[in-house]
Amino acid sequence: MAKTVPEGIGIADTTKAVAPVCPFRDINWKRTSLQETVIGHTVGAMNENHAKLCPSPDWATFLHAEVMPAVAGERDLGDELIEVGPGPGASTDWLRHRVRRLVAVELERSAADALTDRFAGTNVEVINQDATALSFPASSFDSAASFTMLHHVPTARLQNQLLAELLRVLRPGGVLIGSDSLASDALHRFHDGDTYNPVEPASLLTRLQTLGYERITITVDYGMRFVAHKPDSSVTELADRRRAEPVGRQQRCLRAGG
């Protein structure tokens, strides 16, 4: 059965060489992604293309039929889930039926207000907050979600900070599920005048491992989907004990296989 992908999103065509000077802001941000960058927001404002696509029935159908079942269809998400960057709430509407409580973290005030109105009286709590600096205590949620929003975070450093925050607020053994679009000429054009910092799938694996996630699965076809877990408490406690041991003791254990 053919995939139904909204125009301008997902299909990865051959990426052509980028000229040294690019009219879009994303290239400069990408080149300096690990430097300290002074910016007003950790997620850039959406352009008119997104304003039309993201609230559309076609986009909701695409997410609900093609993307979300692949990462969460048969997965136990626990009772409490945090979603970052929900936008108009197409993914939120699907996820909220699979948990007892869903906290949607949205940076833009207008979008957060619209989400609050849309999900009033449901199990969704909307928070207007920066996902790179979450106010929740550690181990607050059973699962976390991020759908097609990472490429709107302007630097790799901030993307890593967001992923680290989700790891922090996950309970031991908790799961992160998500998706993002693949870099392509079409997607580049779709983000004209917009933040566009696509994530390379191979680099995402290393970044998630470095941050401390385990049992990571990344699937790449017309887009990228990922699942990663926070280590359970026994693994975390063992790692903490190993870090606290003197170096000589660690080396002896390694030589002895313990």
Region 110-133 average pLDDT: 97
Query: Which parts of 7-124 fold into alpha helices (H)?
Result: 25-31, 48-53, 57-62, 68-72, 90-95, 109-118
Cβ neighbours for 133, distance < 8 A, ≥ 6 positions apart: 165
Summarised one tens digit per residue, pLDDT across range 196-239 is 788 999 999 999 999 999 999 999 998 999 999 999 986 655 55
The pLDDT value recorded for residue 43 is 46
CA distance 189 to 86: 22
User: Does residue 19 fall inside a structural domain?
Assistant: no
User: Does residue 139 fall inside a structural domain?
Assistant: yes
User: Does residue 251 fall inside a structural domain?
Assistant: no
The DSSP annotation for 16-46 comes to PPPPSS-SSHHHHHHHTTTS----S-SSPPP
User: Does residue 243 fall inside a structural domain?
Assistant: no
Summarised one tens digit per residue, pLDDT across range 144-165 is 999 988 988 999 999 999 999 9
CATH of residue 158's domain is 3.40.50.150
User: Does residue 158 fall inside a structural domain?
Assistant: yes
Cβ neighbours for 148, distance < 8 A, ≥ 6 positions apart: 9, 63, 67, 179, 180, 181, 223
Region 68-95 average pLDDT: 94
| Structural domain boundaries, residue 189 | 25-30+39-232
* 99: DSSP letter: S
Report how many domains make up the chain: 1
User: Does residue 171 fall inside a structural domain?
Assistant: yes
User: Does residue 54 fall inside a structural domain?
Assistant: yes
User: Does residue 81 fall inside a structural domain?
Assistant: yes
> pTM, whole model, 2 decimals?
0.73
